[in-house]
Amino acid sequence: MIQEIAPRKLDNSYKPRDPKNGDYVFSYSGSQIITKPDRTFFRYEECSHSGEYIYLFAIDDTAFYLADLHSLPHAVMSTQEIRTYEPKYLGFAAITGWQLYGWINDNRFCGRCGTAMIPDEKERAMRCPSCGNIVYPRINPAVIVGIKNDKDQLLVTKYAGGSYHKYALVAGYTEIGETIEETVIREVKEETGLDVTDIEYDRCQPWSFTSTLLFGFWCRTSGSDEIHMDKSELRLARWADREEELPTGSDASLTSYMINKFLKGLA
């Protein structure tokens, strides 16, 4: 998965320092990432040292910053291309930086009093110098659900909208006031009409593409396994056998990990 960058390690503690040669500098424009013409990322020594450099995080001893690099000769890369970027740790860094870029950009002014926000000095937060309002990075909890029936089949789906057309699993965001397990039950029922039991946690994944923290669960049908698909959410929902080929694209996502785990007989 995209966050699995060992032996390198993300240090996301907020310990800002001045940039130095060898550090990376990211720049974004909407859903595009600014790169050098050869599609590699800028180092600090390759940039103009004027302008604002915002500390993001570090990987091992290398720090990463946000700055405006549009004046330099550059190319652009879509955020979706980052799923398969090599080396992998730089792809993970770039999409994590994009998540922080979006959060900073969305919170330039205080939602309470309208004053311009400033970075907090002690933690990763935007602070209003007028009313004291604190805004932390947005993280949306959501579930990915592997549903199996009594025939040892897996329910696979394809989303009704969007640009992703490969196989996926039932997924959805947690609502106010519900537990993550209750999210599993509700989303499965809403999208497929199925009742489920034996809910078992597998693992989680930070998914910066949607500012989401994904929780992966396995469960089994309770009662009928007849699918009643919500066509506003899905364009396909069916039962798949372990012997099938189920293209899921890259191995970046928790969805791909779980489908491949099923196909290998490990779930």
Question: Is pLDDT at 162 greater than 90 in this prediction?
Answer: no
What is the CATH T-level fold of the domain 140-263, as seen in this structure?
A: Nucleoside Triphosphate Pyrophosphohydrolase (3.90.79)
Give pLDDT tens digits for 17-67.
999 999 999 999 999 999 999 999 999 999 988 889 999 999 999 999 999
Least confident piece of the model among 46-50, 75-79, 191-195, 238-242: 46-50
Residue 165 has pLDDT above 90, yes or no: no
Share of the chain above pLDDT 90, in %: 92
Cα distance between residue 86 and residue 146, in whole Å: 29
Domains of the chain by residue range: 10-106, 109-137, 140-263
Q: What distance in Å separates the CA atoms of residue 6 and residue 209, rounded to the nearest whole number?
A: 21
- What pLDDT, in 10s, does the model give residues 170-193? 999 999 999 999 999 999 999 999
> Cα–Cα distance between 15 and 174 in angstroms, integer?
31
Q: What is the rounded CA–CA span in Å between residue 200 and residue 196?
A: 11
| Cβ neighbours of 146 (radius 10 Å) | 22
Q: What is the pLDDT of residue 82?
A: 94
Tens digit of pLDDT for each residue in 193-221? 999 999 999 999 999 999 999 999 999 99
